[in-house]
Amino acid sequence: MSNLKLSVDLLGLENVKKAYAIANNAIYFNDNSDYLSALHEICTVLNPQVDLEQIGNSFIDDENL
């Protein structure tokens, strides 16, 4: 599967589109934006069931995805 196909498929998912918009907008403003809160919001959008206390508390490597 090509990268383009993968991107198109992922953009069909509403949570991925919202996460992309949050990241894009944080980059777009290119000022003193609070990137940590943007990343936190992206984590909750991508995984709504996550315990908010767990976000950023440990490193996730490829073996633990």
Residue 16, helix vs strand vs coil: helix
Identify the pLDDT of residue 38.
Answer: 87
Q: Look up the pTM and report it.
A: 0.65
H/E run at residue 42: helix 35-46
**41 pLDDT above the threshold of 80:** yes
| Average pLDDT value for residue range 10-38 | 79
Q: Chain centroid to CA 46: how far? A: 6
The residues spanned by each domain of the chain are: 3-64
| Average pLDDT value for residue range 26-47 | 83
Please give the mean pLDDT across all residues of the chain.
77
**10 pLDDT above the threshold of 70:** no
